[in-house]
Amino acid sequence: MAVPELHRFKLDNGLRVVLAPDPTAPVVGVSVHYDVGFRSEPEGRTGFAHLFEHLMFQGSESLEKLAHFRHVQSSGGTFNGSTHPDYTDYYEVLPAAALERALFLEADRMRAPKLTQENLANQIDVVKEEIRLNVLNRPYGGFPWILLPPVLYSTFANAHNGYGDFVDLEQATLDDCAAFFDTFYAPANAVLTVAGDFEVDRARELVERHFGDVPFRPAPPRRSFAEPRPTEELRGHHTDPHAPLPALAVGYRMPDPVGELDAYLANLVLAGILTDGDGSRLQQRLVHRDAIVTDIGAGAGLFGPFEARDPDTFSITAIHAPDVTGDRVLKAIDEEIDLLAATPPDARELARVTSRWVAGMHSEHDRMVSRTLALGAFELLYGDASLVHGLADRFAAVTADDVAAAAKALRPDSRAVLVVQPEQGGSK
């Protein structure tokens, strides 16, 4: 299968550009990834990166509020944005004829979003309501992505709640917004990706026309969020007023997603072998044989794969009956991990998971929005968007010994265990 062609270049103001032409459908995707996520937000301003993402949809110096929405939707397109540990992305998917419109809209807000007290107050309320809906008033809200990091990590950047504390959100000021924009939303700190049905020379001309005059500002020095791994088992407890059953989350540090990519991929395969489907190790043991959990899952990356630089987290979560202790669940998990570390998976079990990963990636990247966002994220995190097209082969190259080594690294003396209890009773 031929590797899709990519064209990569940089504008004078430092903006990195990835063009990925594909004439198979008359559609284009446009995304901008900024090299800032919630790990970069300052202490005392939890949730600020996500709040600022909302503000970027509130108009600009040349377009009134809701104009962005109207221009995209009237073209038959869709749009959105999202905040991740180490980047924030914005995108549009539109008919190919509307490419210039999308480029103008992204360049316009990169140049000067409309930062007003009214917009700030309104979006603080919107974010607070989102937190109420998704975390505070939902069973297992924030489990494990908000609740586990402060047990596993010790630094503010890695441990704090990226959704935000209400007090911190309410204290955000316009000066905070201006400083955040000036620091992190420079073109030199961003990647623009255009994928789909377009002529390369024409797209390059449009990119230079709309983004070329965005004023240069230097990209901020990239911070390291490194911290030592735990040297003992760390424990945390949380009472959930809405949870019907107790739950357990176990967190381990993973290999560096960027510097140790192949070892990181082995962890993704390991997660699949442990909990992907009824035939997986932990599903068979804990759900079907021992019947001690009602739900079990494992994931490489708290927010999904390829969403963060180092450090990142391998997690296992379980929901169990009140008459089953969390330690009993943990003991069964440890036994299955130890068995996998000692006896690597056979060829059939390994192929089941790697084939599912590869098929899932191909299916996902058939969607224009997913392909566009993946190219931008890999250009930002890895410095090479073309790695996206090599992932299938690298997944297929993961060996049984690689998976066993990944399992062996999930050490009980270097992990976090979070116990979630219902407000009335629960396991101890």
The residues that bridge with 80 in the sheet, in sequence order, are 91
pLDDT value at residue 327:
96
Neighbours of 416 (CB within 10 A): 23
Any idea what DSSP says for residue 89?
E
Contact 58, 119 (CB under 8 A): yes
Question: Helix 261-275 crosses helix 326-342 at what angle (to 10 degrees)?
Answer: 120
3-state helix, strand, coil in the chain (%, to 5): 45, 20, 35
pLDDT value at residue 2:
58
- Please give the Cα distance from 193 to 385 (Å, whole number): 10
pLDDT value at residue 352:
93
Domains of the chain: 7-211 (3.30.830.10), 234-422 (3.30.830.10)
pLDDT tens figures, 18-68: 999 999 999 999 999 999 999 999 999 999 999 999 999 999 988 998 889
Beta carbons within 8 Å of 54's beta carbon, 6+ residues apart: 123, 126, 127
pLDDT tens figures, 317-336: 999 999 999 999 999 999 99
Instruction: Give one DSSP letter per residue of 263-330, joined into a string.
Output: HHHHHHHHHHHHHSSTTSHHIIIIIIIS--EEEEEEEESBTBTTS--SS-EEEEEEEE-TTS-HHHHH
pLDDT value at residue 425:
46
- Give the residues of the chain that fall short of pLDDT 70: 1-3, 425-428
90 three-class SS: strand
Any idea what DSSP says for residue 60?
B
Provide the CB-side half-sphere exposure for 78 (13 A, CA): 6
- Please give the Cα distance from 134 to 424 (Å, whole number): 22
Contact 334, 375 (CB under 8 A): no
Cα four-point dihedral sign 207, 213, 214, 219: positive
Beta carbons within 8 Å of 191's beta carbon, 6+ residues apart: 15, 16, 17, 18, 32, 33, 35, 376, 379, 380
- Please give the Cα distance from 418 to 428 (Å, whole number): 12
Neighbours of 236 (CB within 10 A): 17
pLDDT value at residue 428:
39
pLDDT tens figures, 123-134: 999 999 999 999
